[in-house]
Amino acid sequence: MSEILYIDVSWLLDVQDVALDHDDVSVTDYSALVAAVARHKTRMPTLATSNPDAAWRAAALLHTIARLEPLPHRNSLFAAFVTGQYMDQSGEGVDPPYGALSDLIRKVRETRLTIYDIADALRSWRI
């Protein structure tokens, strides 16, 4: 089992800077970033799952960013980059089919897709 990658708000801001190509997109809700960081660090997402994997942690980041929208715009792009970077830096890169990640994020924003559904999709795209 690989070591757990714990990120912080600075990490998210660094990814934002790269994802948005150094555009001046100021964070409008830092509490959403704090929530994403706290949520991905959860050790017991359910009573049955006490040791979440990188896919679950990346799903927590994606879900929180997509639903809470910390930026004034481009939150879907930000969520996609955070997810990809987190999985890659955790040693578990993903290669989703064309359009699948953006479709997943759209479903998170428009439906009640759960974090567990997101994690299952990420696991299926591992390379």
Q: DSSP letters along 66-114, please?
A: HHH--SSS-HHHHHHHHHHHHHHHTT--B-PPTTHHHHHHHHHHHS---
CA dihedral for 9, 11, 16, 21, sign (positive or negative): positive
What pLDDT score was predicted for residue 21? 80
pTM: 0.91
Q: Which CATH class is domain 9-124?
A: mainly alpha
- Enumerate the domain spans of the chain: 9-124
Which of 13-22, 39-48, 74-83 is the least confident region?
39-48
Residue 95 φ then ψ, to 5° = -135, 80
Distance between CA 2 and CA 53 in Å, rounded? 9
How far, in Å, CA of 21 to CA of 6, rounded? 24
Residue 87 has pLDDT above 80, yes or no: yes
Question: What does the pLDDT read at residue 59?
Answer: 97
Give the 3-state secondary structure of residue 25: coil
pLDDT at 16 over 90: yes
Residue in this structure with the two tokens 């479903």, named with its chain if needed: 107
DSSP helix/strand/coil, 126: strand
Tens-digit pLDDT profile for residues 44-81: 666 565 678 999 999 999 999 999 999 999 999 999 99
User: Given this model, what pLDDT does residue 27 score?
Assistant: 93
